[in-house]
Structure 1
Amino acid sequence: MTQTAPVRAVLFDMDNTLIDWSGFQDGWRELERRHLRKVYDFVRTEGYTPTGSFDDFVLHYTERVVAMWEEARNTLRAPHMGLTLSEVLAEFGCVIPDDEFSACLDAYGWGGVDGVRVFEDVIDVLETLQKRGIRMGIVTNAYQPMWLRDIELQQYGLMPFFGDQKTRISAADVGYLKPHPQIFQHALAQIGTAPEETLFVGDNVVADIAGAQGAGMRAILRVNHPAPNLLSGLILPDAAINSFHE
C-alpha cells in the first residue's frame, strides 16, 4: 500500500482561484487603455515627446501584446508587459533608461479592479492553513511582474498569507508560463518542499492541473463553471472542488 506524503506546502494560482474576476465588466482592452493613458501622459511630463498619438500608441501596444500571447501559447515563453511597454515607447521615440523605467510602471497604476474580489471562502481557508504551519505560495501566469500584482494582494487583504516574496511568482519574472515545468520547478525551489509534499490549487485544467502533476505535485481543480473541460478524461485532477471549504 502506497503512503501519501503529508502536505507541507500549498501553491495557488491567483486569478479565478483566489481572486474572482467574474464581476469584471469593463473588458480587458478598456482597462488596459486607462492604464496606458497614465503612462503616455507620464512620459510627456518627463520631457519625452511621443511620435504618435495616444490612440496609435494603444493600438501598437495592443497588437504587440496579442501577438506575444499567440506566440506564447505555442512556446510557453512568458510575455512581460514591462519589456513590451519599454519597446513600444522606444518605437514612439521615448527611450527610457532601464534604471528609470520602474517609474513608468509606477505611473501605469496597476491595482485592484472594479468588480473583482477575493472569493468568499478564501480567507478562512488561508487562515487555517497558516495556523497549521503550511507554507503557501502563488504561481500566476500574469504578464505583469509580481511586484505589480502584489499591489492587488495588499488591497484584497491577501498579503499576510503570502509574506515571503520568493514564493509569490509571476510567469513574467520566471520567463515561462504554466504548464511549462520550469515555472513549477522554480516555485518548488523557492518554497523549499518536495513535489510529493506540495499541493497545487488552480482553475485551469491544462496550465494548473496538468502542469503541476507533470512536476510531481498533487493538483486540485477549482471548478468555477458547471462543466469544466477535463479534456475527455485525459487530464484528471487529484480532486475537484467548488469551494475552498471542501
Structure 2
Amino acid sequence: MLKAILFDMDDTLIDWGDFSGDWDQIEKPYIQRVYEYLCTLWQIDGGVEAYAKEYLSRSRAAWFQAHNNLVAPHVGRVIVETAIALGIPKEKLNMEACLKAYGWGLIKGVTLFPDVINILKLLREKHIKLGIITNAYQPMWMRDYELEQYGLLEFFPECRFSAADFGHLKPHPEIFKAALDCLNVTPDETVFIGDNPTADIAGAQAVGMKAILRVVRRMTPLISGLIVPDAAINTLDELPAILSDWYPGWDQ
C-alpha cells in the first residue's frame, strides 16, 4: 500500500536547468553580507577578498571530504571556521547570527518545474504523505524560504530534511530512515523521486524503497548500468501511471 512519497529538491522539484552561473558567483553577495556583519565584531585584515578566498577554500575542502565520507558540509560551520582562521575569537561568534547575515534567496535562472504543483495537489488529495530530503549546504529553514516563494511549503508541513541539519548526505541510509520515521511509514510503503542516480536512486533502494529517476538535462550518467532505477520519468505527469502499476487502487 502506498502511503508516502519522498522527493529530492534541486533538479527534482526546482529546475536549475537554465542557471548559467557558477557557485562562487552565487555566493558572492552572501559572503559580502557575512563579511560586513563580522566587521562589526572584529577587524579582518585583507578585506572582503581575504575573507572570500578563505571561505571558498574551506567550502570546497568540506565538499571534497563529504564525497568521501558523506559527512554533510554546513554553511554556518564554514562561515564560523573561516572567521576563526582570520583571527576572530571564537567566543565572539554566534552561528545563528552569521547565518542570518548570510541570508538566502531565489537564484536567477532557477525556477519551479511546471509539473510540480499539480502532482503535489493530486497526491495530497489522495492522502499521500509527502516529504523532502535535500543534500543542501544550508539548514532547512533557509531552503524553506525558497519553498515558500515557489508555493511548495504547504505541501510539506512536517517532513523536510536538509543534509546540513542532519549531518549526513544522501546516499547515507540514516537520512532516508529518519524521513521514513518522520512520516511513520515503512520503505515498502514509500517511493523516492530524485535526479541523482547515486545519491537518490541507489540511496533510496538501499533502504528498501522503490526509486524513480527524474531525467533532467543535468543528469549524472548511470555508472556502467550498475545503478538501475525502478522507473524513470521525464515529467512528474508520468507518475500516476507508474504508481497505479505498482500500487493498484492507490488513487481511490
Q: Confirm or deny a common fold (TM above 0.5).
A: yes
**Are 1:192 and 2:184 counterparts?**
yes
2:174 is matched with which residue? 182
2:5 corresponds to: 10
Q: Could you tell me how far apart the structure 1 residues matched to 2:142 and 2:78 are?
A: 15
Aligned equivalent of 2:86: 92
Q: 1:97 to 1:9 in 2, by over 3 A?
A: farther
CA distance in 2, matches of 1:35, 1:218: 38
Q: Which runs of 5 or more residues in structure 2 are unaligned?
A: 239-252
Q: Contact 2:3/2:129 (CA < 8 Å) preserved in 1?
A: yes
- What secondary structure does 1:137 align onto? strand
Q: What does 1:83-232 align with in structure 2 at a 5 Å threshold?
A: 83-95=77-89, 97=91, 100-164=94-158, 167-225=159-217, 229-232=221-224
Partner residue in 1 for 2:245: none
Secondary structure at the aligned position of 1:168 is classed as: strand
CA distance in 2 between partners of 1:19 and 1:157 (Å): 11
Q: 1:81 aligns with which of 52, 75, 79?
A: 75
Shift of 1:182: 1.2
DSSP-derived class of the 2:147 partner = helix
Q: After the TM superposition, which segments of 4 or more aligned residues of structure 1 sit over 4 Å from their partners?
A: 96-99
Separation (CA, whole Å) in 1 of partners of 2:183 and 2:92? 30
How far residue 94 of structure 1 moved from its aligned partner, in angstroms, is: 2.7
Cα offset, 1:98, TM superposition: 8.4
Query: Displacement of 1:72 after TM fit?
Result: 0.9
AA in 1 matched with 2:59? V
Q: Structure 2: how far apart are the matches of 1:69 and 1:58? A: 16
**Residues in 2 aligned to 1:226 and 1:20: alpha-carbon distance in whole angstroms:** 10
Q: Which has the larger displacement, 149-158 or 22-31?
A: 22-31
User: What whole-Å deviation, never above 9, does each CA across 1:10-40 have from its counterpart, x for those lacking one?
Assistant: 1000000000011222321011111100111
Secondary structure at the aligned position of 1:11 is classed as strand
1:113-151 deviations in Å (ceiling 9; x for gaps): 111111000000001001111110100011111111111
Shift in Å, 1:102: 1.3
| DSSP 3-state at the match of 1:50 | coil
Aligned pairs, number: 238
Gaps of at least 5 residues in structure 1 are: 1-5
CA RMSD of aligned residues (A): 1.7
Q: Percent identity among equivalent residues?
A: 48
Determine the C-alpha separation between the residues in 1 that align with 2:217 and 2:46: 43
1:72-123 deviation line (CA, Å, top 9, x unaligned): 1111111111111111112223346588431221111201111111100000
Tell me, in whole angstroms, the C-alpha distance in 2 between the residues paired with 1:98 and 1:208: 39
Q: Supply the distance in 1 between the matched residues of 2:218 and 2:209 (Cα, whole angstroms).
A: 25
AA of the residue aligned to 2:78: T
Could you tell me whether the CA contact under 8 Å between 2:195 and 2:219 is conserved in 1?
no
- Residue 189 of structure 1 aligns with an amino acid whose one-letter code is D
> 1:186 is paired with a residue of what secondary structure?
helix
Instruction: Indicate conservation of the 8 Å contact 1:86/1:95, yes or no.
Output: no
Question: Residue 23 of structure 1 corresponds to which residue in structure 2?
Answer: 18
- Structure 1 CA distance for aligned equivalents of residues 63 and 219 of structure 2: 26
Amino acid at match of 1:115: G
Which residues in structure 2 correspond to 1:10-89 (within 5 Å)? Answer: 10-44=5-39, 46-89=40-83
* C-alpha displacement of 1:232: 2.7
SS at match of 1:233: coil
The structure-2 alpha-carbon separation of the partners of 1:99 and 1:137, relative to structure 1 and needing over 3 Å to count, comes to: farther
Normalised TM-score (structure 2): 0.90
Partner Cα separation in structure 1 for residue 81 and residue 46 of structure 2: 14
